[in-house]
Structure 1
Amino acid sequence: MITALRGMKDIIDDGNLYKYIVQTCESVASNYGYKFIETPKLEATNLFRRSVGESSDIVGKEMYQFSDKGGNDVCLRPEGTAGVVRAFIEAKFDRAGGVRRYFYHGSMFRYERPQKGRLREFHQFGIECFGEKSVYEDASVILIGAEILSRLGIKTKLKINSLGDSECMPKYKAKLVEFLQTTDGLCEDCKRRISTNPIRVLDCKNEHCQLLLKNAPLITNNLNEACEHDFSTLQEILKQNGLEFEVDAKLVRGLDYYSKTAFEFISDEIGSQSAVLGGGRYDKLVEYLGGRPTFGVGFALGIERLMEIISQRKSEEKRDGIYLCVLDEKYLDSAYLLSAKIRKNHLVEINYEAKNLAKHLKTADSQNRKIFLCIGEDEFKNGEIWYKNLENKDEKKVKIENLEGVLSE
């Protein structure tokens, strides 16, 4: 038997949930003026080396990279932003000026050890805004994320930070490196990052390292006047819009291209706290990839992670839809005609198999249906259908001509 590759997972029973999450994300983003963009899953490897950064774990360890039949160095996209930026530049929008906003969703690929919440092929939804320098756009991006999570009923905590700009970040990095070089006992990953990307040390998950970093210099204490002003303004906007947050001076994004605003929405609904949505500002990325200097800000969320959170509450969800069945197959034609009529206004699952009432009820319950409809001999003779509300257990026989009124109550 041929099976799916390790770390690759089919979306079968949860297909409607996946679609619901994407549609919710699209609806919120569209209300803020974002439009759909689709970019290829296969890109030149150099795109991610230049954007994500040689020092990142993604480029160093996790990319699905290979040479194609033409000898080109290519890889499956490990994240979405770089491809959108490449498309933006290739369309010469960096030269046209103005503000452009896009949303995307689809497969990303990282070769890492599969585990709960981590797959080698996973799916993300993301948004990217180009050409807007105002910190109000940073706030809007955060509010979009908050609205999506709120609509999906996912409880989170928002953490924000400022990573400074090209003026204050180098000065801060120098202070941090000096501190780290005189700190004994850091893990091997942290030691490696001192020379490649020192601010990633702050994000180390090793508890011992976090103890050693307790007195490390913080970027929030080393911002220049412009970055300090933007960060203060962002906090005021979020407060005015009723969004609670925590300033986490050790919050850094995993990719090299971020500057100024960085944020994450954290959830503990699937065990230990983990980020379900994260993003920030990346004003230098378009320039890094060969375009004209262009402001940029966005976020990405993991669809599988949201599916996991929502799925664990499935048993608590309200029932939905109608289960329609027969006790004898000779009534199936009548049931089928009825299903076509009531499907104009309702979700209907018709079971074509004739079996006893208990088995039908068990199937309807397993499908989390709200209404159970069944035609047997007596019902057929009298032009009726047996009705049961599986939520409140109300049951009765209903004339076919009155059924729509009962279903719409």
Structure 2
Amino acid sequence: MTQFQAPKGVPDYLPPESAQFVAVRDGLIATARRAGYADIELPIFEDTALFARGVGESTDVVSKEMYTFADRGDRSVTLRPEGTAGVIRAVIEHGLDRGPLPVKLVYAGPFFRYERPQAGRYRQLQQVGVEAIGVDDPALDAEVIAVADAGFRSLGLDGFRLEITSLGDDTCRPQYRELLQEFLFKLDLDEETRRRAEINPLRVLDDKRPHVREMTADAPVMLDHLSDSAKQHFDTVLAHLDALGVPYAINPRMVRGLDYYTKTTFEFVHDGLGAQSGIGGGGRYDGLMRQLGGKDLSGIGFGLGVDRTMLALKAEGKTVGSTARVDVFGVPLGEQAKMRLSVLAAQLRAAGVRVDLAYGDRGVKGAMRAADRSGASIALVAGDRDLEAGTIGVKDLSSGEQVDVAVDDVVAEVLSRLRG
């Protein structure tokens, strides 16, 4: 028979590595929750037009990378390639923008892009994201960046750097666009790149091909052409980051891969990952809500790569998360013992303890090997003679010491040991 495999570019996370995946994801979410971001769960797929309009038709994401298909009703839907557009759609649809502002939301899950799979670049990528919608305040920009920085540091990651720039606002972007196009149209660009320069010239500065990068090395940069208001906004963001103790490097040539970014734009980079060095990033997207049919409200957010963060931790030789599946492992020797330990397991689980048992009537040696592999710190050992005596063996798996405890006292004894 055919042996099935996961689709190309879609990683499986299995024990023990899955424990690190969960620890990274939950750690990044936790720092956002501590800053008042509430959870939102988004659909895996949306109307294709949402991403075409929100992300930008000139982006590689929309033009080359989206998983788009017609459903049974012949409607065009797309597996979500990013989270911001879906969050904005949900805020508009459910009227969250009519309540207190800013609306602060955090989410996590899989996103989908059809790319050539390689280390750190997957077709199903896992991200944690936040969005803060409704207030144009440089202090909020700094908070969003600080939350991401704190998330990485909470995991023990320290070999990364924050790169930041400003992409200007409506008062200076049109003039800069003309200036950049004037520069680009003098270059010997291929037809596709020239068309990209016509639609969104910033995309050309994001081109990774060496000959294009060489041609655009002297291109004008947005930071040199900011309006007074955009410059003041950017300077205030940097002042807040300084006050918060968040280190950064200004990168005037940074271009993010999505069209909706304005003003503050940032990326977290880890050089231990090679070509796929970005572990997260984001920025302000003033105008996106209006573009998607809602109020003219500002917003800022980020997306942090869970997969990339795991690779960054590996590059630094660090691990997070406990690989222990359970705290307590039951070793029954006989059917009556199995039934009694099953009841004790249920009682301990109800008290919040992780418990597993040796199933399949294996011998004591095999059962104890299973106990060691489970990562448990305590084993409960019971046979027919123990039950006749009204006791169960409570064994410390690190020291090997075992004592007999009255059956009615086992739950209290285990809880005492685990909480002591």
What TM-score does the superposition give when structure 2 sets the normalisation length?
A: 0.82
Is 2:201 the counterpart of 1:194? no
Q: Separation in 1 of the partners of 2:213 and 2:95?
A: 44
Give 2:381's aligned residue: 375
**What's 2:393 paired with?**
385
Deviations, residues 279-323 of structure 1 (Å, cap 9, x unaligned): 100111112222232111111123333355567868786664435
Structure 1 position 235 matched with structure 2 position 238 = yes
Post-superposition CA distance 1:183-223 (Å, at most 9, x none): 45x78875553233222233333345444443332221221
SS in 2 for 1:216: coil
Same amino acid, percent of matched pairs: 35
CA contact (8 A) 2:84 2:131 kept: yes
> Which residue of the other structure, out of 252, 255, 259, is the alignment partner of 1:252?
255
Report which stretch shifted further, 399-408 or 237-246. Answer: 399-408
Distance 1:362 1:263, change over 3 A: farther
- Separation in 2 of the partners of 1:235 and 1:216? 24
Aligned to 1:302: 305
1:397 deviates by 1.9
Indicate if the aligned counterparts of 1:276 and 1:302 stay in contact, CA closer than 8 A.
yes
Q: Check 1:165–1:335 CA distance in 2 against 1; reply closer, same or farther (3 A cut).
A: same
* Comparing 136-145 and 332-341, the one that deviates more: 332-341
- Does structure 1 residue 329 correspond to structure 2 residue 334? yes
SS at match of 1:51: helix
2:401 aligned counterpart, secondary structure: strand
> Which residue of the partner structure matches residue 396 of structure 1?
401
Q: Secondary structure at the match of 2:111?
A: strand
Shift of 1:37: 2.8
Does residue 340 of structure 2 align to residue 339 of structure 1? no
* Correspondences of 1:91-170 after superposition (within 5 Å): 91-92=94-95, 98-155=101-158, 156-170=160-174
| CA contact 1:384–1:397 (8 Å) conserved in 2 | no
Q: Say if 1:347 and 1:246 are closer, same or farther in 2 by CA, change over 3 A.
A: same
Q: Which moved more, 1:152-161 or 1:395-404?
A: 395-404
Secondary structure of the 1:293 match is: coil
Partner of 2:184: 180
Pair 1:311–1:188, CA change in 2 (3 A): farther
Unpaired stretches in structure 2, ≥5 consecutive residues: none
User: Which of residues 224, 234, 238 is equivalent to 2:227?
Assistant: 224
Q: Report what 1:29 is aligned to.
A: 32
Count of aligned pairs between the two proteins: 404
| Residue 358 (structure 1) shift | 5.5
Change (3 A) 1:192 1:357: farther
Q: 2:86 corresponds to which residue?
A: 83
Q: TM-score, normalised by structure 1?
A: 0.84
Cα deviation digits, residues 321-359 of structure 1 (max 9, x gap): 435243733543444344345442533332224445654
* Contact 1:163/1:262, CA 8 A, preserved across alignment: yes
Indicate how the Cα distance of structure 1 residues 40 and 92 shifts in structure 2: closer, same or farther if over 3 A, else same: same
Q: What's the Cα RMSD here?
A: 3.4
Question: In the TM superposition, what whole-angstrom CA distance separates every residue of 1:123-154 from its partner, at most 9, and x where no partner exists?
Answer: 33222222101111111111121222222333
- The answer to whether residue 298 in structure 2 is matched with residue 292 in structure 1 is no
The structure-2 alpha-carbon separation of the partners of 1:358 and 1:211, relative to structure 1 and needing over 3 Å to count, comes to farther
One-letter code of the match for 2:345? S
Aligned-pair CA distance for 1:78 = 1.7
Alpha-carbon spacing, 1:371–1:228, altered in 2? closer, same or farther (3 Å): same
Deviations 1:41-98 (A, max 9, x none): 3322222221111111111112222333433333222221112222333345557784
Q: Distance in 1 between matches of 2:167 and 2:270?
A: 23
**Cα gap change, 1:41 to 1:376, in 2 (>3 Å):** closer
Per the TM alignment, residue 259 of structure 1 is displaced from its structure 2 partner at its CA by 0.4
SS in structure 2 at match of 1:50: helix
Give yes or no for the alignment of 1:58 onto 2:61. Answer: yes
